[in-house]
Structures are given as C-alpha cells and as structure tokens.
Amino acid sequence: MTNFDFLKNDAKFSQFADTAIAAELIYRIDIAASVVNCRRAMEFAVKWMYSVDADLQKPYQEELITLINTDDFRDIVGNDIINRLHYLRKLGNIVTHSPKKITKEQAKLALKNLYIFLDFIVYCYGDNYAQAGFNESLLETQTDRAELQKPINFDESLEKLRAENEALKDKLTELRNLKAKTYVRSPLDMTEDETRKAYIDIMLNAAGWEKGKNWLEEFPIELMPNKTGTGFADYVLTGDDGRPLAVIEAKRTSVEPEKGRQQAKLYADDLERRFSRRPVIFLTNGIETYIWIDGEGGYPERQVSGIFSKRFLPTE
C-alpha cells in the first residue's frame, strides 16, 4: 500500500499512477531513484493536464520548465503548487546531473510535494475524490520487490496525449473550472531548520553554490540591536575574493518571508561596514523567495524563482 494508490481509482490517471507509486515503493531502497520517479510522475502529470484542459495551450517548447512557467498553468494550480513543482524539478536535476548527494528528508519532501500536486489533479479532474492526506508511516513499510519489477509506462509525447484525451477536454475543463477554486491546499509547516535543509539547500545547490566554500551558514554578525549586540545570519554567499555577495534570511514555510526584512537589513548593514560591499538580500521561506537590492543603484524588493547564482550577483 502507498500514498498514491488512490490514483488507481480512476482510469484517467493510470498513465502516471504507476510512476508515482514506484517512487514511493523504492524510497526505502534507493532515495535517488525515488526522486527520479517523482520528477517523472510530475512531468507526465503536467503534460496530462495540458492534454485535457482547454485553457492550457501548448507553449513554444515542450520542456518541463516551460510548461510549468506559463501564466495559464500558474493561474490554474497557484503559486504554492508551482513552487513545489520547481522543488521536484531542481531535486531531480541534481540527482540526474550532479555528483552532489541528497538526503532522505529531501527525498521524502519530494514525495509529499508530488502527493499534493496529484491530489489537486484528482480533486479538479476526478470523479471520485476522497480527501486523505499524506501518511508518512507508509514510507517505512516493507517494500515488495516484486512490485518494483512492474513495467512503468511513460510516454513523454504531449501530442500523443492530446490526441488520446481530446474527447475528455470539454468535460474536464468545465469540471476543473467548477472545482479548482474550492480546493483546500495542504499547508507544509516546517521548522526553520527543516526549511533550510530541504528547500533552501536545494536552491543553493541548483545555483552552483558550494557549502563551506562560498556558501556559509550561521555567519557571525557583530553589531545587532539586542542584549548581546551580536547575531548570526542564516546564510552568507561570498565571491571569489571571500567578501559577501549576498545574505539570506530564512523563515519557516508557514511564515511570510517578508517578515525577515528588517533583520536581513541589519545583517547587510554590518556586512557592508566590515567588508566594504553591500550584499544583495534574499528573503525566503523555501516556498517563496524575494530579492532586495537596497543599496545605491538598487531596486525594490521583488519575487524571484530562487537564489541567484554567483555570476548574476553584483561584485561592486
């Protein structure tokens, strides 16, 4: 039994159900393979949505990042799910293209995020939705290795999907229009430390930062308006000269990242005083990320998709 067995209750979802189930079944044995299957199931489910929803027009490219970044797709699923999909995409890319290792907690979060996305799909397009919630205890049950030998059908052709599902388009688009606005999104209340290890570390890995080299944690701040007069910045990112390029203030997922604005500004003030360079400020709760360049020649705070790589940060 897995958290994704509910997908088998409706034949419409059979095209990506097996891949999602396989992602959970293999979690105890191989977390990297679990993440790869999470990403594959997510990609196929995204393309399935494009094949059955008349409000989703195929963009100029069929690549996953293009499909999930269209305004129409974002309008349907909402920013919360979009950010969860980017997590799956980035973690999958790290596993596939990088020697960097991932943690069991990161792989577990991938399964949770996949579950929330597929739960949304079943709610909007399914006939027999029953709210259940993700059951972590199922991840620790003994895996039947015979189940892992089942073939997984995964055809990535969007055109083939569109042809197969053309007859469903009008009905499912109408159904989704009626139901999407009433979907109750599952909150992901993580501690600040859990947020760092899961979401923020993935953003930093994906952007090419190297932990312990130009990615420093709990960086000491010397001048703070508190009882001790000191503090620690969650993250400081440094340039080739060792001086700070950016400071990151992290909040738990249930807290709006803007709440760390004043604290991050105080960190930036101290770092500028000590290193003669005003660092860029990032505010993030793992789900939403904002960049703020508040020094001379800067610009107002704005939302971005993730932490910038070193080459996109000012060095003067």
pLDDT 10s digits, 149-189 = 554 555 556 777 777 778 888 999 999 999 988 888 766 66
Q: Are residue 68 and residue 135 in the same domain, yes or no?
A: yes
**Residue 66 belongs to some domain of the structure:** yes
Residue 166 and residue 58 share a domain: yes
Task: Name the domain boundary from 182, 210, 240.
Answer: 182
Task: Tell me: do 131 and 247 sit in the same domain.
Answer: no
Report the C-alpha gap between 302 and 282 in whole angstroms: 10
**Residues 171 and 217 occupy one common structural domain:** no
Q: Which residue has the tokens 């393979």?
A: 33
Closest CA to 114 of 131, 97, 92: 92
In a domain, 149, yes or no: yes
Low-confidence residues of the chain, pLDDT below 50?
151
Q: What is the dihedral of CA 268, 270, 276, 277, to 10 degrees?
A: -10
Q: ∠ CA(14), CA(95), CA(219), 5° rounding?
A: 130
Could you tell me if 161 and 98 lie in one domain? yes
Answer yes or no: is 101 within a domain. yes
Same domain, 40 and 95: yes
pLDDT value at position 146?
Answer: 52
Both 153 and 299 in a single domain?
A: no
Choose the final residue of a domain: 182, 215, 247: 182
- Domain extent, residue 76, equals 5-182
- 187 occurs within a structural domain: no
Residue 190 burial (C-beta neighbours within 10 Å; 0-12, 13-18, 19+): buried
- The whole-number pLDDT of residue 188 equals 60
> What is the rounded distance in angstroms from the CA atom of residue 30 to the CA atom of residue 172?
36
Residues 177 and 54 in one domain: yes
Residues 239 and 97 in one domain: no
Place of tokens 């003994």: 142
Same-domain status, 169 and 222:
no
pTM given for the model: 0.78
Residue 21: the pLDDT is 93
In a domain, 277, yes or no: yes
Question: Is residue 222 situated within a structural domain?
Answer: yes
Instruction: State whether 164 and 253 are in the same domain.
Output: no
Claim to verify: residue 213 and residue 88 sit in the same structural domain: no
Task: Please give the Cα distance from 27 to 29 (Å, whole number).
Answer: 5
Give the helix/strand (H/E) hosting 68: helix 64-68
CATH of the domain at 249: 3.90.1570.30
- What pLDDT, on a 0 to 100 scale, did the predictor assign at position 1? 86
Q: What whole-number distance in Å separates Cα of residue 87 and Cα of residue 250? A: 16
Q: Is residue 30 part of a domain?
A: yes
The whole-number pLDDT of residue 191 equals 65
Query: What integer pLDDT is reported at residue 67 of this predicted model?
Result: 93
- For residue 155, what pLDDT is reported? 56
Out of 154, 182, 210, a domain closes at 182
Task: Give residue 216's pLDDT.
Answer: 95
Domain contains 308: yes
Check the CA dihedral 191-193-198-201 and report its sign. positive
Number of domains in the chain: 2
Helix (H) or strand (E) holding 293: strand 289-293
What pLDDT sits at residue 166?
Answer: 82
* pLDDT at res. 39: 94
